[in-house]
Structure 1
Amino acid sequence: MTAIACADLEAEAVSAWFGERKVLDRVSLVMPPGSVTALIGPSGCGKSTFLRILNRMHELVPGASLAGAVRLSGVDIYDPGRKLTDARKQIGMVFQKPNPFPAMSIHDNVLAGLKLTGVKASRSEKDALVEECLTKAGLWQEVRDRLRSPGGALSGGQQQRLCIARSLAVRPKVLLMDEPCSALDPTSTRRIEQTIGELAHEVTIVIVTHNMQQAARVSQQCAFFLAEQGTPGVIVESGATKQIFEDPVDQRTADYVHGRFG
């Protein structure tokens, strides 16, 4: 299999607004290559907004704006000379609700991103890529005999793994995941977590999760977001997951990870 080149991702002093309302205030975070960084914190503290800023989705919201820099391997993805499609190709996204193209076959779902990014490939190359990406997403053995069936006919957990395969097909350096297991049953959740673990050495992963046990299981780095009493979201504390859960510096972090609020 072809290895995916992972890269470091760094946010520096990122602030974000929806109209006049400021939702993030000067958030800085390094997301190391080849590892999983979990974004944790109560609802409404800006985690998903931050995630969307990392691949230039925030700017698609009417009235949304931002300040700061997001660097992929040292290059700011918001540099005026950079194309939006370049950022999307290098930084993939898997959403909370599985969103395969329901009428499109499993095979064509995996390849959908190639058309959007203008990548040309022969039929044999496409077939090999479909097998590779479905294998990496932990789905190949389950669907290999029905690749021409509609993606929408799969179970929820399978659909989410199909979306992961679709993201991998364009060879991203980073994969963003916005609560990828929140709509799934425990068995599917375990399978997705296993997939995340298998992918982490070859693609930098950033995951938003409300499940503290999941954050502890899948991530090596953790960032705790909080928005208190109407103020914008900030990172209270970030660092190695073990330290955040077992020996946090800030009492608010300890209270959150031990379920005392949120």
Structure 2
Amino acid sequence: MILPPQGDGTGSTLEGRRVSAWFGDRKVLDRVSLTMPSGQVTALIGPSGCGKSTFLRILNRMHELVPTASLAGEVLLDGEDIYAPGRRLTEARRNIGMVFQKPNPFPAMSIYDNVLAGLKLTGLRKSGGEKDHLVEECLTKAGLWKEVRDRLRQPGGALSGGQQQRLCIARSLAIRPRVLLMDEPCSALDPTSTRRIEETIGELAHEVTIVIVTHNMQQAARVSHQCAFFLAEQGTPGAIVEHGPTPAMFGSPTDPRTADYVAGRFG
């Protein structure tokens, strides 16, 4: 098993404390606590419907946008609760970026403008020269610069699926997040594009804390430093069964349910 090197701690530590979540009267998460350390990739694994994506969306305050949704607990970014009274939603979104399962660039907007789209939403201002530098820097970090540098004014929607996903990563990086959340970012991609996204994740871990939801056990083993195994059994809310360093989770898990899941015996 080859893991990406750990970062140098320039990212931020994200911590969920006793996080519970509901959709209406239905409880979907029960007292989930997890520390996602600076400079590491944390993979959230488990069967469908166990609350992984809900937990991920709670980490940057997307859960509260669902009309029937509610939650309890705390989410701390470097020790400060992002849900504390007086903390603005835009502040959480600027510090904690999100890349979704399906690539979602603005299709009619140019590649260049797609990268910069988040600046307006978060109120960040840049001069023309600063914008040019930022676009090149973020596309380079997302592994896309060499492929698109001669067509930056062409529509982002004209790119391939894998390129669109890397464009979305570049867009997320442009606002200088401290944490980057990824919800199954490779599920719709071919093996070549998947490998490139995984390489990008390994390279980014040096400077931003990454949390990824994946159903691909081989991917979790390749890209993450630690894993958290979520499970919802017999109608109960989702909870973490076990978490720890990725080699231990795959090589010597302590809970037999974890061993069965990572070996592909269910889920």
Q: TM-score, normalised by structure 1?
A: 0.98
Aligned to 2:235: 230
Deviations 1:75-119 (A, max 9, x none): 000001110000000000000000000000000000000010111
| CA apart distance, 1:201 | 1.0
Distance in 1, matches of 2:40 and 2:23, equals 31
Measure how far apart 1:257 and its partner are: 0.2
Counterparts of residues 182-261 of structure 1 (less than 5 Å): 182-261=187-266
Contact 1:4 1:172 in 2 (8 A): no
Task: Describe the SS at the equivalent of 2:194.
Answer: helix
d(CA) in 2 for partners of 1:184, 1:105:
22
* Counterpart-to-counterpart distance in 2, 1:119 and 1:4: 25
Rounded to whole Å, the distance in 1 between the matches of 2:197 and 2:203 is 10
For the Cα contact (< 8 Å) 1:41–1:47, is it kept in 2? Answer: yes
Distance 2:219 2:125 in 1: 38
Cα distance in 2 for residues equivalent to 1:95 and 1:175:
11
Once the two structures are superposed, residues 204-241 of structure 1 have per-residue CA deviations (whole angstroms, 9 ceiling, x without a partner) of 00000000000000000100000000000000000000
Q: Answer yes or no: is 1:124 the counterpart of 2:129.
A: yes
Structure 1 runs (4+) greater than 4 angstroms displaced: none
Alignment of 1:20-99 (within 5 A): 20-99=25-104
Deviations 1:231-255 (A, max 9, x none): 0000000000000000001000000
Normalised by the size of structure 2, how large is the TM-score?
A: 0.96
The alignment-based identity, stated in percent, is: 82
Distance 1:212 1:116 in 2: 35
Q: 1:153-203, CA deviations, whole angstroms, 9 ceiling, x for partnerless residues?
A: 000000000000000000000000000000000000000000000000100
- Structure 1 residues 191, 215: closer, same or farther in 2, change over 3 A? same
Is the contact between residue 4 and residue 171 of structure 1 (CA under 8 Å) also seen in structure 2?
no
User: 2:9, 2:206 within 8 Å by CA — same for their partners in 1?
Assistant: no
| Aligned-partner SS, 2:71 | strand
Would you say the 8 A contact 2:9–2:39 is kept in 1?
A: no
- 1:6 maps to 2:11: yes
* Structure 1: runs of 5+ lacking an equivalent: none
String of CA shifts for 1:10-65, please: whole Å, max 9, x gaps.
00000000000000000000000011000000000000000000000000001100
- How much does 1:4 deviate? 10
Summarize deviations over 1:114-149 as a string: whole Å, max 9, x none.
010111110000000000000000000000000000
CA-CA distance at 1:5 after TM superposition: 4.4
1:177 equivalent to 2:182? Answer yes
Change beyond 3 A, Cα 1:4–1:86: farther
Amino acid at match of 1:90: N
Which runs of 5 or more residues in structure 2 are unaligned?
Answer: 1-7
SS at match of 1:68: strand
1:111 matched residue in structure 2 = 116
**Count of residue pairs the alignment pairs up:** 260
- 1:136 aligned onto 2:129: no
Query: In structure 1, the residue corresponding to 2:242 is in which secondary structure?
Result: strand
The residue type paired with residue 170 of structure 2 is A
